[in-house]
């Protein structure tokens, strides 16, 4: 699987990607801070890719910390949502939620009572690693755990790949600048991450786990190695990944570690690998060890625009405005608010948005930290974008095709394989917003597909109708023949009259009622 | 053998029909919008050129010259070329209806591609051997194909370029042909005839 | 002179025979073009192009009788696709055949519908559900927005609205 | 608190087109200095004329097309084209010839295709080729380099100015000093007269390897090219491939028959070889897009250059080779797309 690599071995440098200044120092100093419940929690019901959870509480009801307030929907990928603390449900209503492009989602509004009273429905399970895999998956589903690297894929689903998984990769790479939530987690709580890894290995029936940490995160590497040594579990090893962006992308990480490519349209388990975020592993361990479902997470709050950059453990649903306040409030320099890192994170229009299970970083950028909008120039085909593209695309060609747009060529030249990492934008000397163009073109391609699908459906139904009309016609003439045969010998009908009769019946329009 | 190769090199590069003699510009501009179409057109023209060169050589050498009726050269060559083109069109229509649809009028127009008649007449005047005559045909066809294919690639790229309105389409295509011809001038003197 | 005449006659005769034989021997394939053109059309079967359906229109295009800009429901996308397929220049939609608009679906006003079943047979894709004496309804996902059912309705209970089912499909994707 | 929304990524890391183009200009300085040393100040006049005409015609076209004039003028691309063209021309070129070439380069080869980024052909080489076929005699008229002129000096500034302005010289200046053959030209002519290479290179015109002065000009050009490589403004694929395409056949034929084929070193250091390798073939707009495509592109330029130098009628073939390979770029691009991640093995 790992080509005989032992732990601690550094991987070869990738042929793609860019080196970025990490800017993580600020938030690495000091321990993870724990934020007390804010005045109001906005718990969005859509915390994962797929379908929102279905609420099971009423406004006015009192809920306890960790109590399920919404259960997984049956209509698609979905996970449960729990009350982050004890308090009263004030309302269940549409609220703005932090998603790319903006939008609202049904949310449960909870007013914490500050008592932190625990829900008694979940208890610690010390025998977790000996549970049968389906039960482990059910428990993880029950705990509302999703991929915490930002993908939000329900973890239980990802742990159910059938047989033949050779390795579990725990992704602690965090290749984007600023973000250090996973780094802090690994530095302080590696043991918890590894306990979660062991449970996941049990669920996967797999014997190898690689904890991937970036080359420039020495503290985290040391902590992971120490935890591995302390645990004495030789199934788990540390693997150091080059400090390249986007080495933390799932497919890129798999390629770096195993040398294998996940085929387009395929999933990592096709190559015998399952990738999970280290934060996800910690959440799994927390549920089995302490009976606490996923109700909080570590968020990096950073940037020149915030008082004190820090990694803060915060309840899901905490409004960003309160989170920033806890981190020392805005500075005069605050110019932009981004959820995620500077490469793939998206701008937030305001701070009245809640933290979700996906919020790994709140970047309150200062003036100097965001690139001023620069004047776009035409592409000079320098090819730097193709050099850095982790999907081996040729962004300069795709850009030209998107001008058309020539959807056929865009598709054959891999538009769908673009992972929107932003590397091409970063290296473009003409400052062309390539990623935005590709997102637009993908939208157009999707609409184009829809049109041709509709056209194919219409053709199928039109042909089916033609056959149906033909069948009806032939049934009718058979029936006529049968009637003629019946009365033929008795009645004296001459051939001419019969032909006329047949003609008349045939000429009746199909629409006429007989 | 060497003389045949030299003939082909000379007709492809040095005396390229399209870019140094400016013969056959009509299909070059008309059927070069798409790469696949250009390839089809190139194959058809090369086929016609070669076949017409061979047949017209035979007819000239063994029919017209012995009977002393060279004055019928032009008309008999035209008949031959028309027949070869008609034959080619039939083949294309039957084997690749889509290509036939796309090429449309340009297949019959190969008849009037002056390159085809030009090669046949030049062969008759130059007192060449049969193989040399065929080599001229193949060379002419390959030269046409080379320019056609490269040119169609450029035109596909121009579709996405910010060409000023008045120069879109044929204007910029002719300009491109001119600059390509500048490049071909470089081959001058490569093969002495 | 005589030799010349004979040679020309011989030549023409020989070439003519070769052409006739080749034309007979080579198998005919006339459907490919029509099928490919047909595949590009939107299959609303609305007949606005002046032909009785999409396939007849495709046949006419392949034969060179119809232009490629006569399909209002297909809009610019279909014109571009046809021009790429056939190597003919793309041009603006001929608006004498109708205006291109957003995708639409038919809706039956179930309060007015008298259950006459006439629209059922007017629909080229069997997208209207119902039977005599029962209120009809349109399967929005399968309706092509051809508007052929509208004149068939004796009580004018069918209207068209913008098709939003595409957006739903995208959201579910 | 409200914030402005921007699309990701929020960081940009590249230097602008203008900065890149400026680096190219800086990289040409060593070559320019050596060129002036050996051939006099005429080259500076060429550059001035070309630069003024290039910027003027570019501004004019941009204005007619209602494009932001300031933005595009300040990208330095027109200036790079002008300087490259001017440095390819003989140092004694009447101003109208330089101006004609520049107009063709900027207006016809660049702006009629849509301006920066859209030109199919290398503008400087279009301008050069137009001049080469329109003014063949002027374009072949290089003065003798310093030290082998009768008076051991380059032409006086006055002579140069007069020739530049009028196209003729004072009667007292010998025509020889004014329009000698370049080494490439001389080789071609004398080989045609059945002399052998060892005899030809005995001439003082030929210096040590590839022509008096030319060796140093090419070396200085290569120095600038090396700096561009070091700064990663150009990448290694095209220069390496072009070098290979030129040197491999040169070496083979030199080994087979040194009497009638100049040495690889001669090809390497004479004429515009280094300018072609580092500054002209590497123009990204008109070059192939992928790395594999760029290797083919460079190789093609090298081979065609050798073919034209060796067997063609023109002494140097870089401009033609570049134009021909420019024409082939879309087809090369079509067949050299890299395999996309997740598609196939």
Residues A387 and A479 in one domain: yes
Output the average pLDDT for chain B.
Answer: 88
Farthest-apart Cα atoms in chain B, separation: 60
Could you tell me whether strands A273-277 and A87-96 are parallel, antiparallel, or unpaired per DSSP bridges? Answer: unpaired
Is there a contact between B155 and D329 (Cβ–Cβ < 8 Å)?
A: no
Determine, yes or no, domain membership for A11: no
Residues A117 and A213 in one domain: yes
Dist. CA C134–CA C118, nearest whole Å: 12
Taking alpha carbons only, the member of C115, C126, B44, C42 closest to residue A450 is C42
Residues A134 and A219 in one domain: yes
Residue A486 is part of a domain; what is its CATH number?
1.10.1060
B69: how many CB neighbours lie within 10 A of its CB?
18
- Which pTM does this prediction carry? 0.88
Determine, yes or no, domain membership for A511: yes
Taking alpha carbons only, the member of A354, A349, A310 closest to residue A40 is A354
Whether D308 has a pLDDT exceeding 80, the answer reads yes
In this predicted structure, which of A116-125, A202-211, A410-419, C98-107 has the lowest mean pLDDT? C98-107
Span A358-369, average pLDDT = 90
Hey, are the CB atoms on D317 and B183 less than 8 Å from each other? Answer: no
Dist. CA A154–CA A142, nearest whole Å: 11
From residue C124, alpha-carbon distances to A156, A469, C56, C99, C137 in Å are: 46, 11, 14, 21, 15
The predicted pLDDT at position B135 comes to 92
Three-state DSSP state, C54: helix
Residue that has been written with the tokens 């004018």 in this structure: C156
The predicted pLDDT at position D151 comes to 66
Hey, are the CB atoms on B101 and C28 less than 8 Å from each other? Answer: no
Dist. CA D120–CA D141, nearest whole Å: 30
Could you tell me whether strands C104-108 and C128-129 are parallel, antiparallel, or unpaired per DSSP bridges? Answer: unpaired
In terms of Cβ atoms closer than 10 Å to its own Cβ (0-12, 13-18, 19+), residue A349 is middle
From residue A450, alpha-carbon distances to A335, A394, A415, C169 in Å are: 40, 26, 17, 9
Output the average pLDDT for chain C.
Answer: 81
Q: How long a stretch of residues is chain C? A: 173
Alpha-helix residue ranges (DSSP H) falling in A291-390:
320-326, 384-388
For C31-97, CATH gives 1.10.15.40
Dist. CA B59–CA B57, nearest whole Å: 6
Q: Which of A314, A348, A383 is the last residue of a domain?
A: A314
Is there a contact between C119 and C158 (Cβ–Cβ < 8 Å)?
A: yes
Dist. CA D68–CA D62, nearest whole Å: 7
Residues A165 and A297 in one domain: yes
Tokens standing for A187?
A: 């530095």
Residues A193 and A306 in one domain: yes
Whether D48 has a pLDDT exceeding 90, the answer reads yes
The predicted pLDDT at position C72 comes to 86
The predicted pLDDT at position A1 comes to 41
Whether D153 has a pLDDT exceeding 70, the answer reads no
Class of domain C104-172: alpha beta
Confirm or reject contact between A457 and chain C (CB < 8 A): yes
Residue A262 pLDDT class (50, 70, 90 cuts): very high
Dist. CA D345–CA D342, nearest whole Å: 8
Determine, yes or no, domain membership for A14: no
Hey, are the CB atoms on C18 and B79 less than 8 Å from each other? Answer: no
Beta bridge partners of A240: A10, A213
ipTM of the prediction:
0.86
The predicted pLDDT at position A3 comes to 41
Whether C173 has a pLDDT exceeding 50, the answer reads no
Hey, are the CB atoms on B160 and A378 less than 8 Å from each other? Answer: no
Span D304-326, average pLDDT = 93
Whether A364 has a pLDDT exceeding 90, the answer reads yes
Dist. CA D202–CA C5, nearest whole Å: 70
Share of chain D above pLDDT 90, in %: 60
Hey, are the CB atoms on D6 and A365 less than 8 Å from each other? Answer: no
Q: Could you read off the pLDDT of D93-118 as tens digits, one per residue?
A: 899 999 999 999 999 999 999 999 99
Output the average pLDDT for chain D.
Answer: 89
Interface subset of A 399-428, CB within 8 angstroms of D: 413-414, 417, 420, 422, 425-428
Residues of D in contact with B164 (CB under 8 A): 65, 111-112, 114
Domain holding A136, by residue range, is 25-314
Whether A209 has a pLDDT exceeding 90, the answer reads yes
CA D46 to chain centre: 14
Q: Do chains A and C touch (3 or more CB pairs under 8 A)?
A: yes
Residues A282 and A390 in one domain: no
Dist. CA B90–CA B94, nearest whole Å: 6
Residue that has been written with the tokens 């259950």 in this structure: C115
The predicted pLDDT at position D291 comes to 93
Span C74-81, average pLDDT = 83
Is there a contact between A354 and A98 (Cβ–Cβ < 8 Å)?
A: yes
Residues A247 and A384 in one domain: no
Dist. CA D117–CA D72, nearest whole Å: 11
Hey, are the CB atoms on B162 and A378 less than 8 Å from each other? Answer: yes
**Per CB distance under 8 Å, which residues of C are interface residues toward A?**
38-45, 53-54, 77, 84, 103, 117-118, 121-127, 132, 142, 144, 166, 169-170, 173
Taking alpha carbons only, the member of B12, B44, B14 closest to residue B27 is B44
Residue B163 pLDDT class (50, 70, 90 cuts): very high
Residues A307 and A442 in one domain: no
Share of chain A above pLDDT 70, in %: 93
Q: How long a stretch of residues is chain A? A: 514
Is there a contact between D343 and A251 (Cβ–Cβ < 8 Å)?
A: no
Dist. CA A335–CA A341, nearest whole Å: 15
Beta bridge partners of B35: none
Residue A299 pLDDT class (50, 70, 90 cuts): very high
Segments making up each domain of chain C, as ranges: 31-97, 104-172
Residue A7 pLDDT class (50, 70, 90 cuts): very low
Q: Could you read off the pLDDT of C11-49 as tens digits, one per residue?
A: 889 888 988 888 887 766 666 788 888 888 888 888 888
Tokens standing for D122?
A: 């290398």
The predicted pLDDT at position D345 comes to 64
Beta bridge partners of A214: A241
**D109 DSSP 8-state letter:** I
The predicted pLDDT at position A500 comes to 78
Span D4-18, average pLDDT = 87
Alpha-helix residue ranges (DSSP H) falling in chain D:
17-39, 42-64, 69-73, 77-88, 95-103, 123-134, 136-140, 157-166, 175-178, 183-192, 197-200, 214-230, 237-256, 264-269, 273-275, 291-311, 318-335
Whether B128 has a pLDDT exceeding 80, the answer reads yes
Is there a contact between A324 and A349 (Cβ–Cβ < 8 Å)?
A: no
Determine, yes or no, domain membership for A257: yes
Residues A283 and A390 in one domain: no
Strand segments (E) across chain B:
none
Number of domains in chain A: 2
Whether A498 has a pLDDT exceeding 80, the answer reads no
Residue A86 is part of a domain; what is its CATH number?
3.40.50.11540
Q: Could you read off the pLDDT of A333-358 as tens digits, one per residue?
A: 898 999 999 999 989 999 999 999 98
Output the average pLDDT for chain A.
Answer: 87
Determine, yes or no, domain membership for A129: yes
Hey, are the CB atoms on D1 and A330 less than 8 Å from each other? Answer: yes
Q: Could you read off the pLDDT of A87-98 as tens digits, one per residue?
A: 999 999 999 999
Dist. CA D1–CA B87, nearest whole Å: 77
Span D18-35, average pLDDT = 95
Share of chain D above pLDDT 70, in %: 94
Whether D31 has a pLDDT exceeding 90, the answer reads yes
Determine, yes or no, domain membership for A41: yes
Describe chain A by its helix, strand, coil percentages, rounded to 5. 35, 20, 45
Element (H, E) at A312: strand A310-315
Q: Do chains B and D touch (3 or more CB pairs under 8 A)?
A: yes
In terms of Cβ atoms closer than 10 Å to its own Cβ (0-12, 13-18, 19+), residue C24 is exposed
- Cis bond before residue A246 (omega within 30° of 0): yes
Confirm or reject contact between D67 and chain A (CB < 8 A): no
Angle among Cα D93, D95, D101 to the nearest 5 degrees reads 85
Residue C167 pLDDT class (50, 70, 90 cuts): very low
Span C85-93, average pLDDT = 80
Whether A372 has a pLDDT exceeding 70, the answer reads no
Residues of C in contact with A458 (CB under 8 A): 42-45, 125, 142, 144
Q: Smallest Cβ distance to B182: which of D65, D130, D308? A: D130
Whether A8 has a pLDDT exceeding 70, the answer reads no
Whether A196 has a pLDDT exceeding 60, the answer reads yes
Whether B20 has a pLDDT exceeding 50, the answer reads yes
Angstroms from A75 CA to nearest CA on chain C: 11
Confirm or reject contact between A15 and chain D (CB < 8 A): no
Whether A5 has a pLDDT exceeding 50, the answer reads no
Residue B95 pLDDT class (50, 70, 90 cuts): confident
Residue A410 pLDDT class (50, 70, 90 cuts): very high
Is there a contact between A139 and A154 (Cβ–Cβ < 8 Å)?
A: no
Residues A253 and A381 in one domain: no
Q: Could you read off the pLDDT of A443-458 as tens digits, one per residue?
A: 989 888 887 888 888 8
Q: Do chains A and B touch (3 or more CB pairs under 8 A)?
A: yes
Residues A139 and A280 in one domain: yes
Q: Could you read off the pLDDT of A61-109 as tens digits, one per residue?
A: 999 999 999 998 877 778 899 999 999 999 999 999 998 878 888 999 9
Whether B11 has a pLDDT exceeding 50, the answer reads yes
Residues A409 and A476 in one domain: yes
Residues of B in contact with D304 (CB under 8 A): 186
Could you tell me whether strands A68-71 and A81-82 are parallel, antiparallel, or unpaired per DSSP bridges? Answer: antiparallel
Q: Could you read off the pLDDT of B35-87 as tens digits, one per residue?
A: 888 998 899 899 999 999 999 999 999 888 888 888 888 889 999 999 999 88
């Amino acid at each position: 699987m790992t080509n005989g690599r032992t732990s601690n071995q550094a991987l070869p440098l990738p042929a793609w990607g860019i080196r970025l200044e990490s800017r993580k120092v600020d938030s690495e100093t000091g321990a993870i801070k724990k934020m007390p419940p804010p005045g109001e929690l906005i718990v969005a019901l859509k915390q994962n890719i797929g379908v929102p959870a279905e609420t099971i509480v009423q406004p006015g009801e009192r809920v306890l910390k960790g109590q399920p307030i919404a259960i997984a929907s049956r209509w698609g990928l979905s996970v449960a949502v729990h009350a982050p603390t004890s308090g009263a449900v004030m309302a269940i209503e549409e609220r703005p939620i932090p998603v790319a492009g903006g939008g609202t989602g049904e949310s449960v509004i909870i007013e914490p009572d500050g008592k932190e009273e625990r829900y008694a429905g979940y208890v610690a399970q010390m025998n977790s690693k000996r549970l049968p895999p389906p039960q482990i998956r059910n428990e993880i589903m029950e705990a509302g755990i999703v991929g915490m690297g930002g993908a939000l894929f329900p973890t239980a689903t990802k742990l159910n790949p059938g047989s033949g998984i050779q390795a579990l990769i725990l992704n602690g790479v965090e290749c984007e600048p600023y973000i250090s939530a996973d780094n802090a987690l690994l530095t302080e709580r590696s043991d918890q991450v590894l306990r979660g890894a062991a449970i996941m290995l049990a669920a996967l029936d797999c014997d190898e786990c690689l904890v991937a940490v970036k080359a420039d995160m020495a503290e985290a590497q040391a902590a992971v190695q120490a935890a591995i040594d302390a645990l004495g579990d030789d199934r788990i090893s540390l693997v150091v990944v080059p400090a390249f962006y986007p080495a933390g992308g799932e497919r890129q990480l798999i390629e770096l570690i195993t040398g294998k490519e996940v085929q387009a349209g395929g999933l990592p388990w096709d190559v015998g690998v399952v990738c999970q975020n280290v934060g996800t592993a910690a959440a799994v361990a927390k549920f089995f060890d302490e009976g606490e479902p996923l109700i909080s997470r570590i968020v990096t709050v950073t940037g020149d625009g915030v008082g004190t950059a820090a990694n803060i453990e915060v309840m899901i649903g905490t409004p960003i405005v309160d989170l920033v306040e806890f981190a020392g409030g805005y500075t005069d320099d605050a110019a932009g608010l981004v959820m995620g890192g500077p490469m793939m994170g998206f701008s937030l229009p305001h701070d009245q948005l809640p933290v979700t299970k996906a919020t790994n970083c709140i970047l309150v950028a200062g003036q100097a930290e965001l690139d001023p909008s620069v004047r776009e120039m035409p592409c000079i085909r320098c090819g730097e974008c193709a050099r850095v593209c982790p999907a081996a695309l040729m962004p300069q060609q795709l850009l030209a095709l998107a001008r058309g747009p020539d959807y056929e060529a865009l598709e054959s030249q891999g538009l769908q394989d673009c992972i929107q990492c932003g590397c091409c934008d970063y290296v473009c000397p003409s400052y062309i917003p390539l990623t935005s163009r590709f997102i637009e073109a993908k939208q157009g391609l999707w609409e184009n597909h829809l049109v041709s699908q509709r056209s194919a459906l219409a053709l199928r139904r039109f042909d089916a109708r033609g056959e149906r009309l033909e069948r009806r016609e032939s049934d009718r003439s058979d029936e006529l023949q049968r009637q003629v045969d019946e009365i033929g010998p008795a009645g004296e009908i001459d051939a001419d009259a019969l032909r006329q009769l047949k003609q008349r019946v045939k000429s009746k329009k199909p629409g006429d009622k007989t | 053998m060497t003389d045949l190769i030299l003939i082909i090199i000379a007709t492809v590069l040095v005396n390229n029909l399209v870019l140094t003699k400016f013969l056959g510009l009509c299909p070059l501009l008309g059927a070069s919008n798409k790469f696949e179409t250009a390839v089809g057109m190139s194959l058809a023209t090369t086929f016609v050129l070669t076949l017409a060169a061979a047949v017209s050589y035979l007819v000239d050498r063994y029919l017209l010259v012995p009977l002393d009726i060279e004055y019928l050269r032009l008309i008999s060559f035209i008949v031959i070329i028309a027949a070869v083109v008609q034959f080619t069109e039939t083949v294309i229509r039957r084997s690749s209806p889509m290509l036939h649809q796309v090429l449309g009028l340009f297949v019959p127009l190969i008849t009037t591609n002056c390159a085809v008649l030009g090669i046949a007449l030049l062969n008759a005047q130059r007192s060449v051997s049969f193989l040399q005559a065929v080599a001229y045909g193949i060379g002419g066809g390959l030269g046409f194909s080379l320019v056609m294919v490269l040119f169609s690639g450029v035109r596909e790229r121009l579709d996405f370029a910010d060409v000023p309105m008045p120069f879109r389409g044929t204007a910029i295509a002719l300009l491109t042909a001119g600059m390509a011809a500048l490049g071909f001038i470089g081959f001058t003197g490569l093969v002495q005839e | 002179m005589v030799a010349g005449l004979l040679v020309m006659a011989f030549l023409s005769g020989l070439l003519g025979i070769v052409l006739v034989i080749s034309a007979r021997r080579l198998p005919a394939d006339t459907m490919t073009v029509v099928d490919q053109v047909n595949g590009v059309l939107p299959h609303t079967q609305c007949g606005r192009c002046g032909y009785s359906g999409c396939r007849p229109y495709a046949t006419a295009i392949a034969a060179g009788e119809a232009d490629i800009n006569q399909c209002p429901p297909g809009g610019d996308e279909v014109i571009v696709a046809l021009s790429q397929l056939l190597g003919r220049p793309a041009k603006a939609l001929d608006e004498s055949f109708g205006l291109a608009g957003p995708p639409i679906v038919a809706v039956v006003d179930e309060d007015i519908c008298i259950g006459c079943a006439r629209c059922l047979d007017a629909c080229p894709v069997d997208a209207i559900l119902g039977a005599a004496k029962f209120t009809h309804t349109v399967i929005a996902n399968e309706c092509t927005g051809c508007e052929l059912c509208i004149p068939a309705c004796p009580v004018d209970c069918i209207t068209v609205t913008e098709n939003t089912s595409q957006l739903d499909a995208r959201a579910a994707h | 608190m409200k914030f402005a929304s921007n699309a990701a990524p929020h960081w940009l890391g590249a230097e602008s087109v203008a900065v890149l183009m400026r680096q190219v200009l800086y990289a040409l300085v060593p070559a320019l200095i050596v060129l002036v040393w050996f051939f006099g100040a005429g080259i500076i006049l060429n550059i001035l004329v070309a630069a003024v005409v290039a910027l003027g015609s570019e501004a004019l076209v941009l204005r007619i097309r209602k494009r932001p004039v300031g933005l595009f003028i300040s990208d330095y691309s027109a200036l790079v084209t002008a300087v490259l063209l001017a440095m390819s021309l003989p140092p004694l070129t009447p101003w109208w010839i330089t101006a004609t070439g520049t107009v063709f380069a900027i207006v016809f080869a660049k702006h009629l295709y849509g301006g920066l980024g859209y030109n199919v052909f290398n503008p400087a080489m279009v301008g050069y080729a137009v001049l080469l076929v329109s003014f063949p005699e002027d374009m072949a008229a290089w003065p003798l380099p310093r030290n082998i002129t009768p008076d051991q000096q380059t032409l006086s500034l006055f002579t140069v100015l007069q020739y530049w302005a009028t196209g003729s010289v004072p009667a007292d200046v010998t025509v020889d000093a004014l329009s000698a053959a370049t080494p490439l030209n001389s080789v071609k002519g004398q080989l045609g007269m059945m002399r052998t290479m060892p005899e030809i290179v005995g001439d003082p015109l030929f210096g040590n390897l590839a022509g008096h002065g030319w060796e140093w000009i090419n070396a200085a050009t290569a120095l600038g090219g090396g700096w561009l490589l070091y700064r990663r403004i150009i990448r290694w694929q095209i220069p390496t491939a072009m070098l290979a395409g030129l040197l491999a056949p040169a070496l083979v034929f030199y080994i087979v028959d040194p009497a009638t084929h100049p040495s690889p070193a001669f090809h390497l250091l004479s004429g515009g070889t280094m300018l072609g390798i580092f500054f002209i073939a590497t123009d990204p707009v008109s070059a192939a897009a992928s790395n594999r495509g760029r290797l083919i592109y460079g190789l093609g330029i090298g081979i065609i250059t050798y073919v034209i130098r060796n067997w063609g009628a023109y002494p140097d073939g870089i401009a033609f080779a570049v134009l021909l390979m420019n024409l082939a770029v879309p087809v090369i691009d079509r067949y050299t797309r890299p395999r996309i991640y997740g598609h196939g093995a």
